[in-house]
Amino acid sequence: MPIPFHIAAATTMPSRAGQCMYAKTEELRELGPAVPVKLPEGLTAWSVVRGETVSYLLAHPDVSRDVTRAVPTYEPGEVAWLAPWIDLQNMTTKDGAEHARLRRVVVPSLTNRRIQRLRPAIEDSVHGLIDNLSRHPAGASVDVHAEYSYQVPTLVICDLLGIPAELRPEVLRVFRLVARTDDLTEAEATQLNIDLLAAMGTLIAEKRSRPTDDLTSILIAESEKEDDPLTEDELIATLLLMIGGGSQTTINLIDHALADLTRCPHARQALAAGTDPRPIIEESLRKDCPVMNLPMRWALADIDLGEDVIIRAGEPILLNYGGHGRDETINPHAEQFDPDRTEPQHLAFGLGVHRCPGSNLAILEAEVAVTLFCQAFPHAQVIGDINDYAGPTFIGNDLLELPMQLRPTHDHA
């Protein structure tokens, strides 16, 4: 039985991040507090873009993360592209006590105190990446996305989870595909789900035979304890969440922060001279929200949003986190990256019980990556228009590449 929807879609969600997504966000903002949009595989969902409506629904008692509560006839895998977002047995698909039980397992590893201990190791990794970038000749075009922004979070998350070097390429390959919402066929999406589970199965078998003190081993220990253990499905789904949630999101943050900074010489100089990078990171999170639209939430009862918009029980809701930061009523001149903006407002990490527990880690990685990059390459420039590099997804604010000239040709340093 398909996922219900009581009216026709008013528009289609484009599968392209960047300027295309921002233009769509502004169009949807004008159309109403929630707008029925057509998504891949014939699914229709309510797109919610206005900042105050996003916040309202995030705190609404009749909005659930659990499709099985809202649509009792739902069969896992019904919509193949959506499966990694709604079928997995982890904290993102649960409410209430079930959610708290699954979240409790990872939160102690992500407290700010624990995360700050990772700083020296992250700085070491980033220095190594900068050394590699420095080997390119002056004037060359260098893909900073592939050689830097992508590397920092994937190295950090693989280290945090203790993923052995030989398993990293396959784990990272499948995660690159999860966020795609464009031309992945149903068969490809199904195969991807199989590959994801296989990669996690190999990782768990390897760590079971050689446990260490990393997060994977902690999760495996949770699955082996006597009292209320994690089930095998929960273990796999939590690992998938940590790798997926911890990598592409932070890659996007670093990509966009670097690109915006290339147009702000004074902010770059200040960072290189040691000013606190946090305000810059917050402004980047606001302007270029790393997760634009997060699938999926579900109405447990009819919700009247006014303006003749009623979300019916059982219908899917796609919250647009990026719409909040780009709302002119919340952040004036919202399209502009303003490194001196006082207190940029954003919902990049969500709000309430599901708020991102990895925010401390993401911010630390971005602070280190951006500061060291500005020190090493004070004159770096993006080559071409960043919108041409936007990734094929409406979920993340992904870039496929970020070509930069790191040093001008006359610089022989």
Decide: is 249 part of the binding site for ligand HEM (CB under 6 A): yes
Comparison of 204 and 406: residue with beta carbon closer to ligand HEM = 204
Nearer to ligand HEM, 319 or 406 (CB): 319
Closest distance of CB 393 from ligand HEM, Å: 14
From 151, 154, 193, 250, residue interacting with ligand HEM (rule: CB under 6 A) = 250
Closest CB to ligand HEM among residues 294, 309: 294
Site membership for ligand HEM, residue 241 (CB under 6 A): yes
Closer by beta carbon to ligand HEM, 158 or else 199: 158
Please list every residue from 260 through 319 that binds ligand HEM, using CB under 6 A.
Answer: 290-291, 294
- Binding residues for ligand HEM restricted to 331-370, rule: CB under 6 A: 348-350, 354, 356-358, 361-362
**CB 134 to ligand HEM: min, Å:** 26
Which residue is at the shortest CB distance from ligand HEM?
Answer: 358
Contact 34, 313 (CB under 8 A): no
3-state secondary structure 353-386: HHCCCCHHHHHHHHHHHHHHHHHHCCCCEECCCH
Under the binding rule (CB under 6 A), the answer on residue 154 touching ligand HEM is no
Q: Using the minimum distance from each CB to ligand HEM, give the nearer residue, 250 or 393.
A: 250
Of 106 and 309, CB closest to ligand HEM: 106
For ligand HEM, how many residues bind (rule: CB under 6 A)? Answer: 24
The stretch among 18-26, 243-251, 307-315, 398-406 that binds ligand HEM (CB under 6 A) is 243-251
**Contact letters for ligand HEM, residues 64-103 (x by CB under 6 A):** ---------------------------xx----------x
- Please pick, from the candidates 34, 174, 242, 372, the single residue that binds ligand HEM as defined by CB under 6 A: 242
Sites of contact with ligand HEM (CB under 6 A) = 91-92, 103, 106, 241-242, 245-246, 249-250, 253, 290-291, 294, 321, 348-350, 354, 356-358, 361-362
